[in-house]
Chains A and B, each alone.
Chain A
């Protein structure tokens, strides 16, 4: 027996900020959950199971926060699962939640992912020195910058392509009332900003945010109650080792294989022609062209040409991160679920000012760790035929 149809009928998110000092972790999660439930026209009582996701516990210093959160999240007396796959966790959490419905185990699953980065310092948490090893680590930017340099060298991309991405995403965020950074940016402004981890500039870097995202995922029967369900057409997760001899960190094998499997599941043969909007996990600007290639929207070495030609803008051939993306809001644990949720909003026609006209199929994508965890889904306005 194949998977049973499942759909997203509720999407909720917080207003993302550098510091949400007005709410606790529980309050942050509930803000997103209550919006998702309202969107779905449901109450917590009607939910069968709750799936929580967040990134490393060192970010808030609370071990297994799902235990303390259980009651506030309304999970008492229900199954409560916690998922962790580093930065991709928001995506993989949504996939775990959807699989509970697709397997026929539950009819109505609520999933929530969060991060309260203001409770500590992610740069510190990702750079804790390890004995005997050279202390050259410098957070996520320090990790990814050499691989961005590799991409630029391998593809021959002009060095301003990263700035095009950053200016586009920050400007898109002006259309998203929930985004953390909402400021008009030009390519010149991005290029003029400080080099933090050369070749990555300050304005090409995601912010640290407090925020949460929640989804209500239901079976075919319950989805009838929704005027605009986002049907799940495919879900894929893949992983690979962080380091291996000659491992390709620019175009990782796990991402390539995940994308190929995803398009096959969703019955898509030409992603750039058949996907109307993509929400791709781009924490540093250059990852837009890198992931365009990894996902198969462009041939290897050609991703930057789509970006440079404006094809990833809202009115382009493949609009990428119309919400402003991770570059505009980065509550790490929630960032992947925001990509998945924004994809659902697009095919539901519910993305507000950043809606792509007539979007019928959309991609949600997340990656994490040292580009070693990938999670992605395709959602559509039509119920899948197989």
Chain B
């Protein structure tokens, strides 16, 4: 068995991006099927338009319509496309300088092999049939191929939106492999056998649960293993009444710090089997384990903590943990 545990984690969100008036104008142009660039104070014509002039720092205001034809000034071949790229087959990323512009735009060129793309080649925009006002509304194709007449007409007489686009949705999804430290891994593996393992710092002699690669105070590994009971005291807690995105437990619930007997740091866990308004500091609680066949290497083997029925702990026994 590996010394450390790992598990996949996906962090994903559809970000709602405000684009501002300048990029909003450019993206609205894409939705309408044409390119909008800007003439800068130094005479350059740039697409997409920068939000602020690089020389005067003033907000960009001199917008220009640009044609849908241009020239490749440099390119690279994407032989193995990845998710989220413009094509699921090999294609070129190219710097395309639109006719009338002085700086190139980076975009995809739809060709089937690297032999079909070259610096200096002429390209033309191919607009998506359904456009949303995103950079993916358009790709470039070799101009020699021509494009269907209907699309040329559509582009020649672009519709003009009355409503300018103000935002786009940007989905982001990152896949990680989460790795627990060797010390935490020992803790989680202990849980898979129904044991709660802590470690004592050799310098300050505090018992950490979960154990640490380094005591946060002394900077040394917490090496001496201590098996802890599954009984402890609620030090402090909050009652979560608020629902939120990604929440795993249905509110209201009590999220509590539980100081296991013999430990010097409290664990965060759930308190059940008692009305939330009766949970209190000093409450004595015991772990309620899930059925053994459901156990894994996780603290979720403990379903929750429940009152033991003992008298509450004396304040002096836990006040230094508040």
Q: Are B244 and A194 neighbours in the complex by a CB distance under 8 Å?
A: no
How distant is B52 from chain A, measured CB to nearest CB, in Å?
Answer: 5
Most chain B CB atoms below 10 A, which of A71, A116, A132, A133: A132
Interface band, chain A: 35 or more
- Tell whether A142 pairs with B238 under 8 Å between CB atoms, given A21-B166, A119-B15: yes
Please name all residues of chain A whose beta carbon is closer than 8 Å to the beta carbon of B178 when the two chains form the complex.
130-131
* Interface 0/1 of A133-163, CB less than 8 Å to B: 1111111011001110110011000000000
Give the residues from 11 to 31 in chain A that come closer than 8 angstroms, CB to CB, to chain B: 19-27, 30
Residues of A within 8 A of B59 (CB): 27, 30
Instruction: Give chain B residues whose Cβ lies under 8 Å from the Cβ of A132.
Output: 5, 7, 180, 184, 188, 297-300
Q: Is the CB of A61 within 8 A of B172?
A: yes
Q: Which residues of chain B are near A61, meaning CB under 8 Å? A: 13, 15, 170, 172
Interface pair A150/B255, CB less than 8 Å apart: no
A contact residues around B249 at 8 Å (CB): 135-136
Hey, what's the 0/1 contact readout for B218-255 against A, CB within 8 Å counting as 1? Answer: 00000000000000000111111110111111000101
A44 to B54, CA, bound (A): 11
> How many angstroms from the CA of A325 to the CA of B49 in the assembled complex?
37
Contact residues in B for A67 (Cβ distance below 8 Å)? none
List chain B residues, Cβ under 8 A from A187: none
> Residues of A contacting B299 with CB < 8 Å?
132-134
B residues less than 8 Å from A129 (CB atoms): 9, 246, 248
Given A27-B20, A127-B246, A130-B9, A21 and B167 contact (CB-CB distance below 8 Å): yes
- With A131-B298, A133-B299 known as contacts, the answer to whether A196 contacts B241 (CB < 8 A) is yes
B269 in the interface, Cβ–Cβ < 8 Å?
Answer: yes
Give Cα A150 to B245, complex, Å. 27
Contact of B244 among A118, A127, A241 (CB under 8 A): A127
Q: Is B107 in contact with chain A by the CB < 8 A criterion?
A: no
CB neighbours of A141 from chain B (8 A):
238, 242
B54: chain A residues within 8 A (beta carbon): 71, 76
Chain B, residue nearest A148 (CB): B238
Question: Could you tell me the distance in whole angstroms from the C-beta of B30 to the nearest C-beta in chain A?
Answer: 16
Whether B322 lies near A153 (C-beta < 8 A) is yes
- With known contacts A134-B268, A138-B244, A142-B238, A149–B15 Cβ distance under 8 A: no
| Residue in contact with A23 in the complex, picked from B20, B180, B237, CB distance below 8 Å | B20
Instruction: Give every chain B residue within 8 A of A21 (Cβ-Cβ).
Output: 18, 166-167
Q: Please measure, in the bound complex, the distance between the C-alpha atom of A139 and the C-alpha atom of B238, giving whole angstroms.
A: 12
Asked whether A195 is an interface residue with its Cβ less than 8 Å from the other chain, the reply is yes
Chain A residues within 8 Å of B8, by CB: 131
Which residues of the partner chain A approach B44 to less than 8 Å between Cβ atoms?
none
Known: A44-B57, A120-B13, A127-B246. A195 touches B264 (CB 8 A): no
Contact code string A173-210 (vs B, CB < 8 Å = 1, else 0):
00000000000000000000011111110000000000
Complex formed: what's the CA distance from A129 to B255 in Å? 15
Residues from chain A with Cβ under 8 Å of B16 in the complex: 118-120
Chain B hits for A130, CB < 8 A = 9, 178
Interface assignment of A244: CB less than 8 Å from any CB of chain B: yes
Is B241 a contact of A134 with CB atoms below 8 Å?
no
CB contact list, A42-64 vs B, under 8 A:
43-45, 58, 60-61
Q: Does any Cβ of A come within 8 Å of B208's Cβ?
A: yes
> Does B319 sit within 8 A of A, measured CB to CB?
yes
Within 8 A of A (CB), among B281-322: 281, 297-300, 302, 319-322
Do A194 and B248 touch across chains, with their CB atoms under 8 A apart? no
A91 to B285, CA, bound (A): 41
**Chain A proximity of B68: nearest CB distance (Å):** 26
On chain B, the number of residues with a Cβ less than 8 Å from chain A's Cβ atoms is 72
Residue A121, interface by CB 8 Å = yes
A198 CA to B239 CA, complexed, in Å: 5
Secondary structure of the A contact surface, majority rule: loop
Give A134 Cβ to nearest chain B Cβ, in Å: 5
Q: Which B residues are in CB contact (< 8 Å) with A76?
A: 54
Tell me the minimal C-beta distance from B72 to chain A in angstroms: 25
CB closest chain-B residue, reference A200 = B238
Are B322 and A154 in contact, with the CB atoms below 8 A?
A: yes
A123 touches B216 (CB 8 A): no
Nearest Cβ distance between residue B44 and chain A, in whole angstroms? 13
Given contacts A142-B255, A197-B242, A250-B322, contact A136 B236 (CB under 8 A): no
B50 nearest in chain A by CB position: A71
List, in ascending order, chain A residues with CB within 8 A of B268's CB.
134, 136-137
Complex CA gap A112/B253 in Å reads: 40
Q: Is the CB of B15 within 8 A of A153?
A: no
**Is A243 an interface position by the 8 A CB rule?**
yes
Q: Is B11 in contact with chain A by the CB < 8 A criterion?
A: yes
Distance between Cα atoms of A25 and B51 in the complex (Å) = 11
Say if the beta carbon of B91 comes within 8 Å of chain A. no
Is A74 among interface residues, defined by CB-CB distance under 8 A?
Answer: yes
Contact B13 A124 (CB under 8 A): yes
Instruction: Knowing A132-B297, A241-B216, A244-B217 are in contact, say whether A149-B244 is a contact too (CB < 8 A).
Output: no
Complex Cα distance A246/B172, Å?
A: 39
- What sequence of 0s and 1s flags, for each residue 341-354 of chain A, a beta carbon within 8 Å of any chain B beta carbon? 00000000000000
Closest chain B CB from A208 CB (angstroms): 12
> Which residue of chain B has the shortest Cβ distance to A201 in the bound complex?
B241
Report the Cα distance A137→B59, complex, angstroms.
42
What's the least CB distance linking A241 to chain B, in Å?
A: 4
Report if B257 contacts A (CB, 8 A): yes
A72 beta carbon closer than 8 Å to chain B: yes
B51 in complex: contacting residue of A19, A24, A131, A146, CB < 8 Å: A24
| A141–B246 alpha-carbon span in the complex (Å) | 15
Cα distance A30–B217 when bound, in Å?
A: 42
Determine whether the beta carbon of A149 is less than 8 Å from that of B237: yes
B131 interfacial by beta-carbon distance below 8 Å: no
CA distance A118 to B166 in the complex (A): 13
**Option from A26, A149, A241 in Cβ contact (under 8 Å) with B52:** A26
Docked pose: A43 CA to B57 CA in angstroms: 9
A–B complex contacts, Cβ < 8 Å, 22 sampled: A24-B18, A24-B51, A26-B20, A26-B52, A27-B20, A60-B15, A61-B13, A61-B15, A124-B245, A130-B178, A131-B180, A132-B300, A137-B255, A139-B242, A141-B238, A145-B238, A147-B236, A149-B238, A153-B322, A197-B239, A198-B238, A243-B265
Q: Please name the 3 residue pairs, one residue from A and one from B, whose CB atoms are nearest each other, closest first.
A: A145-B238, A24-B20, A198-B239
